[in-house]
Amino acid sequence: MLAAVESGDQQGARQAMEDHVGQIQDDLDGGAAGQPETSAGGQQAAEGQQTAVV
């Protein structure tokens, strides 16, 4: 999301935000039995995303 905003890619930023909000909604709805997704190594899947606090 940040990279899209910094580069002026409005469509990319919009899509990244929609994806992010969709993931949050899925998490709030319980997702996979209310548990975060994990990789084979047992770490939470971050998919290269970072959370910004504003």
pLDDT, tens digit (0-9, with 9 covering 90-100), for 1-45? 899 999 999 999 999 999 999 999 999 998 655 455 554 544 444
pTM for the full model?
Answer: 0.51
| CA atoms within 13 A of residue 54's CA, in its CB half-sphere | 4
Report the candidate in 54, 46, 4 with the shortest Cα–Cα distance to residue 23: 46
Distance of alpha carbon 48 from its chain centroid, rounded? 9
Which amino acid is present at 28? Answer: L
